[in-house]
Structure 1
Amino acid sequence: MSTLRSVIMDSIMTATMDITRERIAATEAVIRPHIRRTPLVQADLADFGLPALPVIFKLEMLQHSGSFKARGAFANLLLRQVPEAGIVAASGGNHGAAVAYAAQQLGVPATIFVPDITSPAKAERIRGYGARLVIAGNRYADALAASEAHVAQTGAMPVHAYDQAETLLGQGSVGLELEQNAPDIDTLLVAVGGGGLIGGIAAWYQGRTRIVAVEPEQSPTLHSAFAAGAPVDAPAGGLAADSLAPRRVGELMFPIARAHVERVVLVSDDAIRQAQAALWSSLRLVAEPGGAAAFAALLSGRYRPSSGERVAVLICGANTTAVNFDS
């Protein structure tokens, strides 16, 4: 291993060690005045035509800006020193909306780079919160490269969507809330893109609850990383490409996931569509494709709980203009 690579890996491991239950709890206390405690809904899988089994839905799509991302956004802005040049973020949409919202609330100038696949609903939210929106390329990786060039030119503070310690600490507060409100669950299903959400949650639970990752078949970032033993480039396509297709998972989350995520389940685009429709039909819950992906694993049978297993599903985002799925 080269000296440079050793320095990089030492830096990653140091940051990863900082993502502890204690720091997640401390971060949650800082961001609490700015975020919502999102509710739980109890249902039964029989409502969806599956064998009867109680299931808990954590409705994080009701968070400010329409997704869990507001937690990490506020953690970055409140725990780091923001320069006069403001902040910059690259996003498929949800992270950008969250950073724009947090910046608006705290009076900080923000520039958000997104790819052209970003949904109109997400682009509209970003602009509505007063941020400068820049469209760059056709995938998240393109927007990220453009944002990094902007940082080099302006000195703005980058707020990474998933590979930043403060981001993981903020997202870990989802696990803290869920454990407080539903302490007896056996299994939690979480959708994965870059891995900031599942990394923070897994760091909170530390193996005390089974964590199952769910990814689209066309964007198997964590699945590919587990197979390779390290984050690697993976395909970045499919229905949920604007939220679950960053090309590879973050370096910071990977050792946490390897230690505390039991498995990765892959779901098809059709399964995600069916999960969106089922959530609307049975519970009148609106979820974007990425937000419905975790439930798709249950509905499609890709994850089959055992009898009596206490299962929770995270519905992580609702930034979509498609509301009525009945047709």
Structure 2
Amino acid sequence: MDTITAADVTAAADRIAGRVRRTPVLQVAPGRWLKLEVLQHTGTFKARGAFNRQLRARELGQLDPARGVVAASGGNAGLAHAHAAAELGVPATVFVPTTAPLVKVSRLRSLGADVRLVGEQYAQAYEAAVEFAAERGAVFCHAYDQPEIAAGAGTLALELLEDVPEVDTVVVAVGGGGLFAGVAAALEGRARVVAVEPFGAPTLHRALAAGEPADVEVGGVAADSLGARRIGSIAWDLAQRTSPVSLLVDDDAITAARQQLWARFRVVAEHGAAAAWAGLAAYSPAEGERVAVVVCGANTDPADLG
């Protein structure tokens, strides 16, 4: 089974240094902080894993300058891999379902990606990307369930520990679990992780209840970014090792949290990122507990924020 440790996250931090932004930490109340990954390249934490995956492949001699990388994603992961590939001077092919929003397809193309529209569901685009990688020799980049991807995501937790060494608890949103896995590995033995999911996509929560990963139905306002159908194997391993607090929040709480992040702090967050802030209220920290919330993405239409 693939897994990662704190050492992998440290190696990732060294590898991607200078390629990603060190995002700021905003103290919003005594003992409360926001890690503003909304200011990362392409608007989400995923640039960290994308660079780590592609740079590691280059170190291993796997990244062919002519064949480049391939990913399946009409959203944040695809944007991150297209950006990283452009920075490294290699081609990126991104398979997306035909139902992907035109604005995301256009943005992928603006980053130089060769966008292939395949099928109506993500699973079909994923299968096409895997096949393309096998046939063309391009480096396959998973959206969340690869060691380099998860370790790269965890580098934000190392920055957080440097800026707020006294932190007791870190709250993250969970979809497929790459961010959770990286943060949990980085913080293992040092701080607690609270894993927040929508009721409409409870991949980790369901796995913890069943004792093993299981498919879930996906829906709700955060499905575009947290809509994985099953928790990744790396995240599942980290969950078994670190015993996170697992919380579910409903769509109303997520929507209200998104509005609150803007109204109170002028932070633009997509619904998936706002889920973590919504989870803070559901968690109810103990008196004196020092908590940081990762606001992991900003790729949203701000028109309804007021």
TM-score past 0.5 threshold: yes
Distance 1:117 1:238 in 2: 16
The C-alpha deviation readout for 1:61-119, integer Å capped at 9, x for no partner, is 11011100000000011001213322111125001000000001111111112235544
Q: In the alignment, what sits opposite 2:55?
A: 78
Structure-to-structure mapping, 1:275-314, within 5 angstroms: 275-298=257-280, 301-314=281-294
Distance 2:39 2:243 in 1: 25
Q: In the alignment, what sits opposite 2:21?
A: 36
Give the number of equivalent residue pairs. 301
Distance 1:291 1:109 in 2: 29
Distance 1:138 1:268 in 2: 26
Answer whether contact 2:96 2:117 (CA < 8 A) is retained: yes
Answer whether contact 1:140 1:242 (CA < 8 A) is retained: no
Q: In the alignment, what sits opposite 2:177?
A: 195
From 82, 95, 107, give the equivalent of 2:89.
107
Answer whether contact 1:114 1:134 (CA < 8 A) is retained: yes
Answer whether contact 1:92 1:242 (CA < 8 A) is retained: no
From 24, 30, 48, give the equivalent of 2:9.
24
Q: In the alignment, what sits opposite 1:50?
A: none
SS in 2 for 1:34: coil
From 94, 107, 115, give the equivalent of 1:133.
115
SS in 1 for 2:221: coil
Q: In the alignment, what sits opposite 1:94?
A: 76
SS in 1 for 2:283: coil
SS in 2 for 1:252: helix
Q: In the alignment, what sits opposite 1:69?
A: 46
Distance 2:18 2:108 in 1: 22
Query: Offset at 1:307?
Result: 1.7
Query: Offset at 1:177?
Result: 0.7
CA 1:32–1:206: 2 relative to 1, 3 Å: same
2:301 paired with 1:321:
yes
Query: Offset at 1:153?
Result: 3.1
Distance 1:185 1:123 in 2: 39
Q: In the alignment, what sits opposite 2:232?
A: 250
Unmatched runs of 5 consecutive residues or more in structure 1: 1-11, 45-52
SS in 1 for 2:224: helix
Query: Offset at 1:161?
Result: 1.2
The C-alpha deviation readout for 1:26-61, integer Å capped at 9, x for no partner, is 2211101100000011113xxxxxxxx541000001
Distance 1:119 1:57 in 2: 29
Q: In the alignment, what sits opposite 2:150?
A: 168
From 57, 66, 69, give the equivalent of 2:34.
57
Q: TM-score, normalised by structure 2?
A: 0.93
CA 1:183–1:250: 2 relative to 1, 3 Å: same
For 1:321, the aligned partner's letter is D
Query: Offset at 1:265?
Result: 0.6
Distance 2:301 2:109 in 1: 16
Distance 2:102 2:262 in 1: 21
2:125 paired with 1:143:
yes
RMSD: 1.6
Distance 2:162 2:222 in 1: 30
Unmatched runs of 5 consecutive residues or more in structure 2: none
For 1:65, the aligned partner's letter is T
Q: TM-score, normalised by structure 1?
A: 0.87
Q: In the alignment, what sits opposite 2:134?
A: 152
Query: Offset at 1:190?
Result: 0.2
CA 1:316–1:139: 2 relative to 1, 3 Å: farther
Query: Offset at 1:140?
Result: 3.1
SS in 2 for 1:296: helix
Distance 1:204 1:107 in 2: 30
Q: In the alignment, what sits opposite 2:187?
A: 205
The C-alpha deviation readout for 1:104-156, integer Å capped at 9, x for no partner, is 11111111122355445533331211101223344433321221222233222
Distance 1:216 1:65 in 2: 23
